[in-house]
Amino acid sequence: MGPLDKYILKEDALEATENGFQLKFQSHWYRSLPLSCMDFNLKINGQEIEKSKFKIKANGNEYTYKQLPELDKEWLYILDRGMLEVTQPMEKGKEYEVEFKYDLHIPYILVGPQATPLLASSVVTKNLVCQ
């Protein structure tokens, strides 16, 4: 959406884990927001990952995708990275095309007739080597 998108996925964002892989992401807003204001879509090599497979990690805590809207007390500091963990095998050292859509529902900017939080949506597509 803007210049801050540049920091969403760094070169070391994709990492193999024991059970699959994790993607480390940084917010594209200028200030910290809690997980309740976030939403994600992930495609690896063009294949969309089912959201029920997501585990979202922040500050050492772990949540399911379903829990997201309720997590208004779990803040992601603007300079910290959150993690999206997926149980799907990935090969270390191999390059993958990652398409990550990162939606932020801005809680202090209300728009439209229903006065709903402004949707700031960014999509990053990057070829990343699995670490």
Which positions touch another protein (CB under 8 A)? 2-4, 6-7, 26, 30-34, 36-37, 69-70, 72, 75, 77-79, 105-111, 115-117
Least distance in angstroms from the C-beta of 13 to another protein: 14
Q: Are 99 and 53 in contact (CB under 8 A)?
A: no
At 12, the amino acid letter reads D
Question: Could you give the CA distance from residue 17 to residue 37 in angstroms, rounded to a whole number?
Answer: 27
**Based on C-alpha coordinates, what's the Rg of the chain?**
14
Helices marked H in 16-83: none
* Nearer to another protein (CB atom), residue 17 or residue 61: 61
Smaller CB separation from another protein, 109 or 129: 109
Taking the complex as a whole, how short is the minimal distance between the CB of residue 44 and another protein, in angstroms?
24
Q: How far is the CB of 49 from another protein (least distance, A)?
A: 22
Beta-bridged to residue 50, according to DSSP, are none
